[in-house]
Amino acid sequence: MDGSDLQASSHLLELAEPLPLDGGQALPGVRISYETYGTLNAERSNAILICHALTGDQHVASPHPKTGKPGWWVRMVGPGKPIDTDRFHVICANVLGSCMGTTGPASPASDGQPWAMRFPVITIRDMVRGHVALLDALGIERLHAVVGGSMGGMQALSLAANWPERAGAVLVIASTARHSAQNIAFHEVGRQAIMADPKWKNGDYYGARDKGGGKGPENGLAVARMAAHITYLSEEGMHEKFGRRLQNREAKTFGFDADFQVESYLRHQGLSFTDRFDANSYLYITRAMDYFDLAEEHGGKLAQAFAGSTARFCLVSFDTDWLYPTAESRAIAHALNAAGAQVSFVELSAPFGHDSFLLDVPALDRVIAGFLGS
């Protein structure tokens, strides 16, 4: 690991007021777990908020406490890196509904028992409301930039649309302004896999977990992760990585073991995911993403969402991303154009599908550094 880990600091904020939600309720006792890197300047003007994706967390450039793996964007965030912690104060908060320290369905409700399915259904805008409460607590009126990939990009867009004065620049990577039918369909497969697992027990599996009865609906959650993982890769990338190669064997077994490397890989991805993620959080966060439609929130016109915005925008898509394809980013760029906003948009070529934003794409580094630096 490099030096960027050393300067991370972990924090927990407990909101004094209940957090109002799009669903009409107000959530009491919300805790927000976040990390910071680099130094906030005296004017409080050099902060960059990084918003994480569906199963991401606040450990953007520091090791994950459960898996010990490097931060999920350590290649992008650190001293001298495209998001330069020598220049910027980087903040990354675990989103509402997640399970890495911020309040979610696994957190205790006022009766001391886990919320489980009593947790209210939340939206992307609710997550951003949590971020804004955090910025208020930190005394940061205006971010230098808000940055996010995938679901993180949805949060960045939601912040720009609903709290336009809070960010000077908005960087949205491999994302969309609304979940498509196909996006919702894949998420529904994942949710049904979890809810069909007898260990899910209508979400009330936390007691069994405490008594050493496993982690709840592990099989269902693993299948959900397997299905989702396919959508993060490109067909070409999968073919190159696995082809039809067999896993540790010379011939097919004429059975249902993981004969193929791709099967073995997906099973591993699914199982290891259950070590670090809560099944109910997966239900709630995928629901929030499915509900996301920025135009719908603003009278049906996406351009309306950005009317009067003074922020600079940059949208990046990848040519092999079929989860949130280029057309989605282009539609956002056109809407921003119509609203007269300063906007850049580029489709980069990368072989890794949706996951390209997390992987080695040098052109992305240049775009991010240039956009944030200017």
Partner 1 sequence: MSGLRPDLAVIAEHVAPGSRVLDVGCGDGALMAALRDQRHVDARGMELDAHNVAECVARGLSVIQGDADTDLAYYPDAVFDYAILSQTLQTTRRPDKVLGELLRVGRRAFVSFPNFGHWRVRLSLLWNGRMPVTRSLPVSWYATENIHHLTVADFRALVEELGVKVEGAWFLASDGQVGAAGANWRAEHAVFLLSR
Q: How many residues bind partner 1 (CB under 8 A)?
A: 24
| Catalytic hit among 150, 309, 329, 356 | 150
Query: Which of 214/373 has CB closer to partner 1?
Result: 373
Q: Annotate each residue in 253-292 with x if it binds partner 1 (CB under 8 A) or - if it does not, as one string.
A: ----------------------------------------
Cα–Cα dist 114/119, whole Å: 9
> Could you tell me the two tokens for 251?
């011939």
Candidates 32-40, 91-99, 219-227, 338-346: pick the segment binding partner 1 (CB under 8 A).
Answer: 338-346
Which of 145, 343, 352, 358: binder of partner 1 (CB under 8 A)? Answer: 343
Tell whether residue 338 is a contact of partner 1 (CB under 8 A): yes
Tell whether residue 307 is a contact of partner 1 (CB under 8 A): no
Which of 80, 207, 214, 373: binder of partner 1 (CB under 8 A)? Answer: 373
Tell whether residue 334 is a contact of partner 1 (CB under 8 A): yes
Which of 229, 344, 351, 359: binder of partner 1 (CB under 8 A)? Answer: 344
Tell whether residue 295 is a contact of partner 1 (CB under 8 A): no
| Catalytic hit among 259, 321, 329, 356 | 321
| Catalytic hit among 179, 354, 355, 356 | 354
**Shortest distance, position 356 Cβ to partner 1, whole Å:** 13
HEC assignment per residue over the chain: CCHHHCCCEEEEEECCCCEECCCCCEECCCEEEEEEECCCCCCCCCEEEEECCCCCCCCCCCCCCCCCCCCCCCCCEECCCCEECCCCEEEEECCCCCCCCCCCCCCECCCCCECHHHCCCCCHHHHHHHHHHHHHHHCCCCECEEEEECHHHHHHHHHHHHCHHHECEEEEECCCCECCHHHHHHHHHHHHHHHHCHHHHHHCCHHHHHCCCCCCCHHHHHHHHHHHHHHHCCHHHHHHHHCCCECCCCCCCCCCCCCEHHHHHHHHHHHHHHCCCCHHHHHHHHHHHHHCEHHHHCCCCHHHHCCCCCCEEEEEEECCCCCCCHHHHHHHHHHHHHCCCEEEEEEECCCCHHHHHHCCCHHHHHHHHHHHHC
**Shortest distance, position 316 Cβ to partner 1, whole Å:** 9
**Shortest distance, position 327 Cβ to partner 1, whole Å:** 12
Q: Residues 336, 344: contact at Cβ < 8 Å?
A: no
Task: Please report the beta strands in 143-187, taking only residues with DSSP state E, as ranges in sequence order.
Answer: 145-149, 169-173
**Shortest distance, position 324 Cβ to partner 1, whole Å:** 16
Query: Which of 96/367 has CB closer to partner 1?
Result: 367
| Catalytic site includes residue 187 | no
Candidates 48-56, 94-102, 123-131, 343-351: pick the segment binding partner 1 (CB under 8 A).
Answer: 343-351
| Catalytic site includes residue 321 | yes
| Catalytic site includes residue 210 | no
Tell whether residue 80 is a contact of partner 1 (CB under 8 A): no
Which of 345, 352, 353, 358: binder of partner 1 (CB under 8 A)? Answer: 345
| Residues near partner 1 (CB under 8 A) | 312, 314, 330, 333-334, 337-338, 340, 342-349, 363, 366-367, 369-371, 373-374
Active site residues: 150, 321, 354
